[in-house]
Amino acid sequence: MPSSRWRILVSPDVPFVSDIAAQTFRPVFIAGATTTGICFFGTVFAVHHVRYFPEFYGITDDARWRQSLSLVALITGLVAAVSLILLGIFDTYYAHVMHLNLLMETFAGLSVSALTTTIVWWDQVCGIEVFVGLRKW
């Protein structure tokens, strides 16, 4: 009788990054996840900070929905960064269920942050050049 639940077929011959980190390279894995999380949030913060900070481009009359989406991108980027750090700490060997939940939170935060950042900056990609200074680089 077929089950309605997904079944994950795992080969014991294929090592996953989380499995290797849980056994031998735990400190390196935690340091790498922490560095990646901090750098990701720093990048998201810098991208949105540059758009609204008066010393750079100072877009003060931007639409409220863009400013709100920018805040959503920052918050979900922070959630993704913290989840990634915790993902390195709670590995699949010692905390399997928590690891799976943190993995879903990390990818959800990354996806929402990337999508909202793309929507906020879309006017500079395809629209009329209202702020020419944004395309100097």
DSSP for 24-42, written as a single string: T-HHHHHHHHHHHHHHHHH
* Amino acid identity, position 71: L
32 located within any domain: yes
41 located within any domain: yes
16 located within any domain: no
What pLDDT is attached to residue 38? 96
Domain of residue 64: give its range.
24-122
17 located within any domain: no
What is the total residue count of the chain? 137
81 located within any domain: yes
* 8 Å CB contact between 45 and 77: yes
What pLDDT is attached to residue 3? 56
Number of CB atoms found within 10 A of residue 59's CB: 20
What pLDDT is attached to residue 102? 92
62 located within any domain: yes
What pLDDT is attached to residue 4? 58
Question: Hey, is 12 helix, strand or coil?
Answer: coil
Number of domains in the chain: 1
Which stretches within the chain are classed as H helix? 17-23, 26-52, 64-89, 96-126
Number of CB atoms found within 10 A of residue 26's CB: 16
Q: pLDDT tens digits for the chain (137 residues)? A: 555 565 555 566 666 666 666 667 778 888 888 999 999 999 999 988 888 877 776 677 778 888 899 999 999 999 999 999 998 888 777 787 898 899 999 999 999 999 999 998 887 777 665 655 555 55
**Token digits for 109?**
């935060």
